[in-house]
Structures are given as structure tokens and as C-alpha cells.
Amino acid sequence: MENTEMIGEDAQRPRVGLVLGDPAGIGAELAAKLLADAATPALAAVTVIGDARQLAAGARIAKVPLPAVDLDDRANADPAATPLGRVSAEGGRAALNNFRHALAQARDGALDAIVFTPFNKQALRLAGNPYLDEIHFAADVLGYTGQCSEFNILGNIWNARVTSHIPFKDILKHITTANVLNALMLTDKTMRATGFANPRIALAALNPHAGDGGTFGTEEIEILQPALVRAKLQGICADGPFPADTVFMRARAGQFDAVLTLFHDQGQIAIKALAFEQGVTLLGGMPVPLCTPAHGTAYDIAGKGIANIDASKRAFAIACSMGSRCRLV
């Protein structure tokens, strides 16, 4: 709703960088379809960051006209050298180069938000990328040292995590009252930045049946409850801890806007079971919102023109919403 007021006022539209990810997947097709969508120019002033030949190939695959668009041609991914469906160091290098360039633009104030098409982790590794995930890479390029977190957004349900890409054996030592409270605060702050007036956050429990009153573990009583009490004192609408196997059902039934899970798979199992195709990943907490569809490069359908655009559209809409707010503050 907020964005519609801005249509026509070019200075008010957020400046969104659309980064082309791995060139061997469905990324360029998704970018072309997104650019061809009638709603796109009204939402943002878009700059595509990637190889012009790759974008043109995407438009051919998508069978859409290549729209007149601001293009920062990186000339780094000749389709002949990065064939569809094949993982390559060249592809990984191009994706990283595009992403780094967009982040530098954002850091220097030239972009308000970034949307990127999927990366291929294996290609990134072949290209020598030493980072565990995109969020660490992005924070480093942005020179950002504060708290940040990956958010998964599925329809109206948000999912954030207290811990992410760490070994299972290390999870417990990171589940402290301070860390849970910080994650509740970051979730609240990030959701407010996309327009939630008072996001309702459910905290997932650690133990089966949420410990069942201490029978199967006491972390709910000793660690999670105190974090919830402190969050509430700060005006955050948080509740729980709820058994991890039903908390997403509560959210789906409309009781909550977000679920804060304690570790990677606790949320990912539910998100992927509920509807993997439609999810959006937001790298949140940083000075600039970074959004991408949650699905992967989909090498198996690359070039067929059948890639589903829903998650990319939603990622773009969230980036626009957050980008406008950041700008207008």
C-alpha cells in the first residue's frame, strides 16, 4: 500500500539492484520474467547487475521481450563459456563478482536494496569463495559488523533462527537467554522494517513436547522463558516456547506472523515441507535488505522456460518495501 503512493515519483521509488546469480541455472530466465512484469517498474528503479548476453539469453528462454532497463554490464559470463545445467568455476566467479559489485554500490549509497537470483554453492566453492554462506560474504563487503540473520519467508509466515550453519554438537552452547533475546529483537526490528506494526513472534522450543514441564529437558524453563519475559518488557509481541513440531501449524493458522527457531533444520524442515517453491530468503539486519528466492539454481529445468517466478516476485516486493522504508527514514 505504501508503495502505491510513490508511483510516478521517481525520486521516491527505491533503487533496487537485480543481481544475476549462477549463469548455468534459471536465474537469467527469472530476471527476464521479473523485468517483463508490468508491476515491476512501478515498484522500483531497477538496475540489472550482470552480463548483458546472459540477460538476453534469459529473455529468449522466457520468451519475453527484453525490456529497456538500466543494465550494469559486467561482461563476465559469456553463455558459450557457462553452459546451462553445468556447474563451473566461471559461473561461480561471475555470480560472486556481480554480488560484490552490487554490495559495494549499496555501501556507497547508490542502491537501496538488492535482489539476487540463486547461487550455486558448488560453483562458488570452485571459484574460491571462502565464505560459509552469503550472509557472511555480504556483511564483509558492506563492512557491517552488527547482528544479522537469515530469514525465510513463506506466504505470511516468517522464520528466523538463533543459530544457523554450525555443527549440531555446538547448538546447545549458543542457546543462551542473551542470544535468544537478541534474535527476538532482530526479528521484531526487521519485520517492522517491512511494514509489520507489531509482529507476533512465536518461539520454538528446544526439547520434544517443549520439555513437557521439565520432564524432557529444562532449557524451556531456564533459558527460553526468561528471554521471552525480557522481550515482552521491551514491547515485543513474543510468545512460547511452543513445541517445534506444531509451532508452524499455529503460524499457518494465523496465530503468529513469525516463528523463531533455535537451529537450522528446526525451521527448514517445516518450511520445505510446507511449500518449498514459494519461499523467499532475506538476509536481514544489515544496512541494505538482500532478498532472493529460497529455491536453488534448478539446473534440471534450466533453459526450458518453465521456471516459476512466484518466489522471485515476492523477494522483489519485500526488497522494494524495505528499500523504500530505509530510504524514507
Binding site for a second copy (CB under 8 A): 132, 164-169, 172, 206-209, 211, 215-219, 243-246, 248-249, 263-266, 268-274, 276
- Burial-class residue 329 by CB neighbours within 10 Å (0-12, 13-18, 19+): exposed
DSSP alpha helix (H) spans, 194-263: 219, 225-233, 247-252
Cβ distance to a second copy smaller for residue 271 or 288: 271
Nearer to a second copy, 74 or 295 (CB): 295
Q: Is the peptide bond before 243 cis (omega within 30 degrees of 0)?
A: no
CB of 158 to a second copy, least distance (A): 16
Shortest Cβ distance from residue 266 to a second copy (Å)? 7
Cell 560472486 -> residue: 96
Distance between CA atoms of 212 and 66, rounded to whole angstroms? Answer: 58
Give 85 or 208: the residue with its C-beta nearer to a second copy.
208
Minimum CB separation of residue 306 from a second copy in Å reads 18
d(CA 292, CA 30): 11
Considering beta carbons, is residue 5 or 222 the nearer one to a second copy?
222
The answer to whether 121 touches 131, Cβ cutoff 8 Å, is no
Look up residue 322 and give its three cell numbers.
524495505
* Closer of 31 and 247 to a second copy (Cβ): 247
- Residue whose C-alpha cell is 507489531: 198
In the complex, least distance from residue 151 CB atom to a second copy, rounded to whole angstroms: 16
**Residue labelled with grid coordinates 517492522:** 192
CB of 206 to a second copy, least distance (A): 5
